[in-house]
């Protein structure tokens, strides 16, 4: 009966799972335990994700709370994008607006009618319709009292900190990225492997984890192409899906071969997870 050894010291939290009493774990159960402990270690050590998206929908908004506001804000390595939608009461929609901000927009937001406004104007619209009976408007007031136009990060922080908890639904998605490039000077080859761990969590604390690994795949002795394997653990910690895909270099068609040996992918991903933790945490991780 096979036992599993954790290749990373950061997975000490799995000791209770991998002890002698439970050493009959299947390869997938072992993989799921390692993946969850990896995410826990990243969060325990407050590692900043490469990308974070926070969104919520239908938070009571408007001076009397009879409208609703939804927002989605993404921080991609310091580059912000976002959208805000405010729908006023049915009998008074004058303050309603939809604003979108893209990476290249600078201080500009584009409204649904294609007009543009700056971040200060967005802050003033939020302040004017802030539901004071529900949430204190001190922070919203501070934004509009600033001499300079507030950043999208400040607007995102305002909404996430003071309104998201009042929304009907909310979701956070965080992505942790890792890349390894190994050069073989003797064989004159390069092995390029990348890993993305995407963690999605809803307002009730349920989380879904998606792992995407990309590495070389040899079609024949002379040709290799990048192949991607995607593994998804659902909110019940069950294997939701595992799939692979590559582009045929001769036909340019997307190929999705059946995964006949998932254990091989689990083991490969586990090795890369250990490397990701080593890079993110170094010798100081807990």
Same domain? 30 vs 69: no
Rg (CA), the chain: 23
Same domain? 132 vs 86: yes
Range of the domain at 226: 9-44+185-284
Tell whether 219 is covered by a domain: yes
Q: In terms of pLDDT, which residue wins out, 182 or 122? A: 122
Average pLDDT of the chain is 88
pLDDT value at residue 137 = 85
pLDDT value at residue 12 = 52
Q: Using an 8 Å Cβ cutoff, are 140 and 126 in contact?
A: yes
Same domain? 71 vs 20: no
Element at 93 (helix H, strand E): none
Same domain? 118 vs 199: no
Give the pLDDT confidence of 172-228 residue by residue, as tens digits: 999 999 999 887 666 666 788 999 999 999 999 999 999 999 999 888 877 889 999
Same domain? 72 vs 120: yes
pLDDT value at residue 66 = 87
Of 117, 146, 171, which one is at a domain's C-terminal end?
171
Tell whether 179 is covered by a domain: no
50-74: burial string, b at 16+ Cβ within 10 Å, e else? ebbbbbbbbbbbbbebebbbbbbbb
Give the pLDDT confidence of 16-52 residue by residue, as tens digits: 444 444 457 788 999 999 999 999 999 999 999 999 9
Give the pLDDT confidence of 143-159 residue by residue, as tens digits: 999 888 999 999 999 99
Separation of alpha carbons 102 and 96, rounded Å: 20
Q: Using an 8 Å Cβ cutoff, are 74 and 81 in contact?
A: yes
Same domain? 40 vs 55: no
Same domain? 189 vs 120: no
Separation of alpha carbons 114 and 96, rounded Å: 15
Of 119, 138, 171, which one is at a domain's C-terminal end?
171
* φ/ψ of residue 129, rounded to 5: -110, 15
| Domain count within the chain | 2
Same domain? 29 vs 104: no
pLDDT value at residue 18 = 46
- Going edge to edge, which strands form the sheet with 239-247? 116-118, 108-111, 97-101, 79-87, 67-76, 51-61, 167-184, 189-202, 207-220, 223-233, 239-247, 254-255
Give the pLDDT confidence of 255-277 residue by residue, as tens digits: 999 999 999 999 999 999 999 99
Same domain? 68 vs 26: no
Percent of the chain at pLDDT above 90? Answer: 67
pLDDT interval class at 252 (50, 70, 90): very high
Same domain? 166 vs 231: no
pLDDT value at residue 20 = 41
Tell whether 180 is covered by a domain: no
Same domain? 18 vs 84: no
Of 171, 206, 223, which one is at a domain's C-terminal end?
171
Same domain? 36 vs 143: no
């Amino acid at each position: 009966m096979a036992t599993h050894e954790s290749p990373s010291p950061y997975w000490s939290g799995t000791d209770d799972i991998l002890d002698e009493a439970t050493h009959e774990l299947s390869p997938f159960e072992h993989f799921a335990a390692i993946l969850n402990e990896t995410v826990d270690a990243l969060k325990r050590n407050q590692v900043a994700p490469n990308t974070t998206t926070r969104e919520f929908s239908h938070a009571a908004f408007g001076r009397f709370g009879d409208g609703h506001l939804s927002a989605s804000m993404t921080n991609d390595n310091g580059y912000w994008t976002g959208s805000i939608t405010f729908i006023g009461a049915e009998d008074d929609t004058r303050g309603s607006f939809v604003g979108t901000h893209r990476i290249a927009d600078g201080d500009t937001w584009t409204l649904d009618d294609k007009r543009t406004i700056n971040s200060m104007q967005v802050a003033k619209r939020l302040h004017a319709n802030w539901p004071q009976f529900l949430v204190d408007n001190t922070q919203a007031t501070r934004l509009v009292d600033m001499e300079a136009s507030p950043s999208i990060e400040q607007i995102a922080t305002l909404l996430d900190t003071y309104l998201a908890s009042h929304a009907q639904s909310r979701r956070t998605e965080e992505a942790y990225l890792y890349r390894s490039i190994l050069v073989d000077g003797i064989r004159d080859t390069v092995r390029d492997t990348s890993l993305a761990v995407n963690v999605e969590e809803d307002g009730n604390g349920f989380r879904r984890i998606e792992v995407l690994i990309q590495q070389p795949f040899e079609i024949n002795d002379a040709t290799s192409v990048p192949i991607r394997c995607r593994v998804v653990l659902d909110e019940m910690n069950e294997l939701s899906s595992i799939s692979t895909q590559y582009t045929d270099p001769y036909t340019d068609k997307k190929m999705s071969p059946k995964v006949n040996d998932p254990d091989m992918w689990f083991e490969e991903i586990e090795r890369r997870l250990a490397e990701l933790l080593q890079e993110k945490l170094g010798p100081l991780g807990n």
